[in-house]
Structure 1
Amino acid sequence: MRIDGIGQDDDDIRYLFSYNLQRLASLSSRIALLDIKPSFGINIHDWRAMAVLDFLGVAPLHTLAKRAGVQKSQMSRTVSALEERGFIEREVNPEDKRSVHLRLAPAGRKLVADILSASRERNRQMLQHLTEDERCELMRLMEKITVGSLDYLRALKGEGETRRPPPPATIFETEIL
């Protein structure tokens, strides 16, 4: 039987790409939770906020929340807790004195580096049954799926082609709307 991620009219949910992607994402989150919380003392929301801020460098709260895929109010609570622990610092936005920019504090940068190292090993284990070429192909295909999914999201939101931004150079530049 050929499983194509779409299925036939008489197939059930197990044949859908979206169902299997959600199962894999949930499994990945459970694995990360079992690794990160006991080893590093932070939760998944904390990790996501710090990891995203690490690649952004400096960002306002709304950008951090959007790139991390969480509500601004949840990110605000997360950032406050991380700031209290000395992992994130705030600075006045030089372009708008009413807002602040966030950046990782030195302790936050160290923690991110340590967790990224552990994450690489976790990902190595998760991808152990793929060759290097297959891993590269998987990432290439994920990028194509992301671009197609963003096109579909824009269509569902009623945004035409006129509002479509230029395609990202890589999946790492893709921002979920």
Structure 2
Amino acid sequence: MQPPTSKSRHNTATEGDAPLLDLDRYIPALITFIANKLSKSANAFYQPAFGVNVTEWRIIALLAIEPGIPAARICHVIGFDKGPVSRTLAAMEKRGLIAIRIDPNDGRTHSISLTAKGRTTHDKVIAVALGRERRLLSCLSRDEQEILIGLLRRLHENLGAVTDTDS
């Protein structure tokens, strides 16, 4: 019998009495590793080519989809804390990428929108972003891509199972 390799072990592999993670099969690690590497490579390209980092790009992309949303909505959708988002928004406003206005319906909230410069930046970056996605998914058939999207959506919807403070 062959000794187990990291590819054949399951999450319950042990060394002595202590359980070990199989990083080839541990879903939180795989998702994190993929996200980190995608972000790092996007940052390395977007910053010099378009003058925006990956966090700014995520905000720009969201504002193109949902113009006029408040910062709280940005935090909720992309999963960032309020402090870093507020600092990023302030820097983006200073560079003329976004406009922040007091919401006329609620003076306590702000409406955030892309400026013409922000929209132009979006229109330049999106082609590259979609090309990166196509290259990433090129190892999967169309059916596999749809399955992956469905599975990732289900995992996203189930995040409360691990993020709720009740558990």
Shorter-chain TM-score category?
A: 0.7 to 0.9
Give, in whole Å, the separation in 2 of the partners of 1:5 and 1:102: 48
Q: TM-score, normalised by structure 1?
A: 0.78
Distance 1:4 1:136, change over 3 A: farther
Q: Does 1:38 align with 2:42?
A: no
Question: Which stretches in structure 1 are left out of the alignment for 5+ residues?
Answer: 160-177
Give, in whole Å, the separation in 2 of the partners of 1:58 and 1:122: 28
CA-to-aligned-CA distance 1:71-121 (integer Å, 9 cap, x gap): 212111111111122110122211212432111112111211221111010
Q: Return the structure number with greater helix share.
A: 1
Report what 2:105 is aligned to.
95
Give, in whole Å, the separation in 2 of the partners of 1:91 and 1:6: 52
Note the 1:3-152 alignment, pairs <5 A: 7-10=11-14, 12-14=21-23, 15-152=25-162
Q: TM-score, normalised by structure 2?
A: 0.82
Contact kept in structure 2, 1:36 and 1:44, CA below 8 Å: yes
Question: Which stretches in structure 2 are left out of the alignment for 5+ residues?
Answer: 15-19
Q: Cα offset for 1:134?
A: 1.0
- RMSD value over aligned CA atoms? 2.4
Percent identical across equivalent pairs? 23
Distance 1:52 1:87, change over 3 A: same
Structure with more contact order per residue of length (Cα contacts < 8 Å, sep ≥ 6): 1
SS state at 2:127 partner: helix
Contact kept in structure 1, 2:10 and 2:22, CA below 8 Å: no
